[in-house]
Structure 1
Amino acid sequence: MTIRKTNQNDIGTLMQIRLEMLRIVNGLDENAPFDKTLLECSREYFLKGEQTTVFAMDGDKIAGCASLSYINVMPTFDHPTGKRAHLMNVYTRSEFRRRGVGKMMVEYLIEEAKSRGVTEISLDATQMGHPLYKSLGFNDNGEGMNLSL
């Protein structure tokens, strides 16, 4: 199993695997349609967004993917660079689960974040993913609040 960064040539495959993951996570039929805005914005994000996305490869088969979105905020004492990241879309195809694929991708992205001076990585975990993130040192954080607009 190898981990490789994606590039613009991967856009078709990136979109395909993202929609596959969204259907599964949201309990949708495999042919469920998606909103045009979601599709356009996802495509734009992969092409121009401040992110790193990786594929886990088993030979020429894609076993999974994961993305790290970079966020710049005002520096603080705890985060002097102001560079933070949000881990998302960690997805392993069913036939490759329970083999450490998710862990390999997240470890790769953690190292990538460190190399960019990121001082904090946040994420939203599913119940299935929670043990993986705990094993990698992520902590539950009940301090935050948000406002949906």
Structure 2
Amino acid sequence: MNKIIYRKTTKADMKILMKLRLEMLREVNGLSGEYEYDENFIFESRRYFESGEQTTVIASDGETLVGCASLSYTWIMPTFSHPTGNRAHLMNVYTRADYRRRGISKKMVEILIDEAKENGVTEISLDATEMGRPLYESLGFKASDSCMVMDLEG
């Protein structure tokens, strides 16, 4: 194993971004490696990465891509607790199974947290899997009882 290299992606990394995202979604959702994604899903995923309203960090071991994590930026009406209205949502945190438990996801998230602070973000939210909760708690994330969600497609 080489030293893990971390870097922020650019639009030129679209193939890498899409490959890792689709790989992650297959694993998280228990889909086979042959699962075919809907064309509209692919289109919208590309559009998201091209929008520039996110930062994605990838981790590589030599030529092997081993992980990714994304921070999606949102701007909402300022509140007393978030006077700038700058918020972010952490998502797409993924490390390949054979590279887990080595601090790779933690390092990628730390890079994104540092960038969020530099950009004046006052809150980062996320949706955690049971497997991911210990990582996020170790970084200072706390469960919230204040959020409510309405699924408009269900």
Q: Deviations over 1:78-111 (max 9, x none)?
A: 1011000000000001121110000000000000
**Which secondary structure does the structure 2 equivalent of 1:78 belong to?**
coil
Q: Which residue of 1 aligns with 2:44?
A: 41
TM-score by length of 1: 0.97
Q: Which residue of 2 aligns with 1:115?
A: 118
- Structure 2: give runs of 5+ residues left out of the alignment: none
For the pair 1:8 / 2:8, whether they are aligned, the reply is no
Query: 126, 139, 143: which one pairs with 2:142?
Result: 139
Q: Which residue of 2 aligns with 1:52?
A: 55
- State the 1:49 CA deviation: 4.0
Q: One-letter code of the match for 2:84?
A: T
1:92-131 correspondence to structure 2 within 5 Å: 92-131=95-134
- State the 1:2 CA deviation: 2.3
Aligned-residue RMSD, C-alpha: 0.9
Identity of aligned residues (%): 60
- C-alpha separation between the residues in 1 aligned to 2:50 and 2:11? 6
**Which secondary structure does the structure 2 equivalent of 1:11 belong to?**
helix
Runs of 4+ in 1 over 3 A off after TM superposition: none
Query: 67, 72, 76: which one pairs with 2:79?
Result: 76
- Structure 1: give runs of 5+ residues left out of the alignment: none
**Which secondary structure does the structure 2 equivalent of 1:87 belong to?**
strand
